[in-house]
């Protein structure tokens, strides 16, 4: 690999870890000519776009938007190709079509170091592309950066957390099937228009629902919403009892804890 041609790329998902990594790279490797890239599915939350603007303000550099979800290559087109079969954890075609393939097209055959924000306190393995010219680098793992550090980095940079963190622990599409039920309730209450759009994608008779075994119509009924909220309150109470003193992360957000970070999609939700 010729050193002079190597590109350095940080894929930003709109989530906290990849954002903290962009800040960290700027601080620890100031000489690197970084490319910051965001794959836009055009099914993102407004809060994510607002967060990207904040990130650009800090970096003083554009986050390149790969328009991954428009027109013939958009989510709706691929959904048609998959005959209306909604993506799910076991059939995650959306990530490949809307994130990985556009990213690989953008990279081409250039040798690239791809910086990935998996933390030292996480177990998950991260590999975004199998292309041999894309070499993953894990600065947080290498340098022992853990969740507390991520919150500190974001706080000290002035970027903070994305606004959706008040009700949802992950970045990505508004209809992402990795959302927990309480997050669907959050979508219903914060973005009722998007909840309706998500609902319109479901084909309940054929069993195509975003949440396994329950349609969004059912989930949005007042008695069901109240039940989900009550279960969440109990879960938090139990978690709170087990976890004293509060970590910086919890004090900072007043909201999400480790338990809320259900394993999701590496590309969309770092």
User: What is each CA distance from 133 to 7, 129, 203, 267, in whole angstroms?
Assistant: 10, 9, 40, 18
Instruction: Return the number of the residue (89 or 158) whose C-beta is nearest ligand SF4.
Output: 89
Question: Smallest gap, in angstroms, from Cβ of residue 260 to ligand SF4?
Answer: 16
Classify burial at 5, counting beta carbons within 10 Å of its beta carbon; exposed 0-12, middle 13-18, buried 19 or more.
Answer: exposed
| Selected binder of ligand SF4 within 18, 19, 48, 95 (CB under 6 A) | 95
DSSP string computed for 84-131: T---BTTB-HHHIIIIIHHHHHHHTTS-EEEE----TT----------
C-alpha distances in angstroms, 56 versus 12, 59, 63, 65, 140? 11, 5, 6, 12, 21
Length of the chain: 270
User: Which residues are bridge partners to 11 per DSSP?
Assistant: 37
Reading phi first (left if > 0) and then psi (alpha if -120 to 50, else beta), residue 75 is in alpha
Q: Which is nearer to ligand SF4, 146 or 211 (CB)?
A: 211
Measuring CA to CA, how many Å separate 159 from each of 54, 55, 229?
6, 6, 30
CB 199 → ligand SF4: shortest distance, Å?
15
Report the residue from 150, 176, 219, 249 that binds ligand SF4 according to the rule CB under 6 A. 176
Return the number of the residue (2 or 212) whose C-beta is nearest ligand SF4.
212
Contact 114, 135 (CB under 8 A): yes
Binding mask 32-51 for ligand SF4 (x = CB under 6 A): ---------x----------
Pick the binder of ligand SF4 from 94, 134, 145, 153 (CB under 6 A): 94
Q: How far is the CB of 233 from ligand SF4 (least distance, A)?
A: 26
Of residues 226 through 265, those in contact with ligand SF4 by CB under 6 A are 265
Residue whose CB is less far from ligand SF4, 10 or 79: 79
Give the footprint of ligand SF4 on residues 144-163 (CB under 6 A).
none
Per-residue CA distances from 136 to 25, 66, 111, 252 (Å):
14, 19, 11, 30
Count the residues of the shown chain that bind ligand SF4, applying the rule CB under 6 A: 13
Q: Is 61 helix (H, G, I), strand (E, B) or coil?
A: coil
Q: Contact between 14 and ligand SF4 (CB under 6 A)?
A: no
d(CA 252, CA 270) in angstroms, rounded, equals 19
Which of 14, 15, 87, 117 contacts ligand SF4 by CB under 6 A?
A: 87
Nearer Cβ to ligand SF4, position 43 or 147? 43
Q: Which of residues 96-115 bind ligand SF4 (CB under 6 A)?
A: 98-99
Range in contact with ligand SF4 (rule: CB under 6 A) among 94-102, 125-133, 149-157, 158-166 = 94-102
N-term to C-term CA, the chain: 28
Q: Kindly state the smallest distance separating residue 223's Cβ from ligand SF4, in Å.
A: 28
Which residue in the set 25, 173, 188, 270 belongs to the binding site for ligand SF4 (CB under 6 A)? 173
Binding site for ligand SF4 (CB under 6 A): 41, 87, 92, 94-95, 98-99, 172-173, 176, 178, 265, 268
């Amino acid at each position: 690999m010729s050193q002079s041609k190597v590109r350095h790329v940080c894929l930003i998902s709109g989530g906290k870890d990849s954002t903290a990594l962009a800040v960290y790279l700027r601080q620890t490797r100031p000489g690197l000519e970084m490319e910051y890239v965001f794959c836009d599915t055009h099914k993102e939350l407004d809060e994510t776009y607002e967060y990207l603007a904040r990130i650009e303000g800090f970096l003083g550099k554009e986050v390149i938007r790969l328009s991954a979800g428009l027109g013939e290559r958009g989510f709706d087109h691929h959904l048609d190709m998959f005959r209306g079969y909604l993506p799910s954890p076991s059939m995650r075609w959306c990530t490949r079509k809307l994130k990985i393939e556009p990213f690989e097209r953008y990279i081409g055959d250039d040798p690239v170091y791809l910086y990935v924000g998996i933390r030292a306190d996480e177990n998950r393995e991260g590999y975004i592309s199998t292309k041999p010219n894309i070499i993953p680098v894990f600065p947080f793992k290498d340098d022992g950066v853990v969740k507390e550090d991520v919150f500190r980095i974001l706080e000290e940079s002035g970027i903070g957390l994305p606004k959706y963190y008040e009700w949802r622990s992950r970045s990505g599409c508004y209809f992402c099937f990795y959302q927990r039920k309480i997050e669907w309730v959050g979508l219903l209450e914060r973005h009722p228009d998007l909840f309706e759009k998500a609902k319109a994608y479901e084909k309940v008779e054929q069993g195509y629902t975003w949440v396994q075994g329950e349609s969004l119509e059912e989930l949005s009924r007042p008695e069901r919403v109240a039940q989900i909220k009550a279960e969440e309150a109990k879960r938090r109470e139990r978690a709170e009892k087990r976890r004293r003193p509060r970590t910086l992360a919890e004090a900072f957000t007043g909201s999400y804890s480790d338990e809320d970070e259900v394993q999701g999609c590496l590309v969309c939700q770092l």
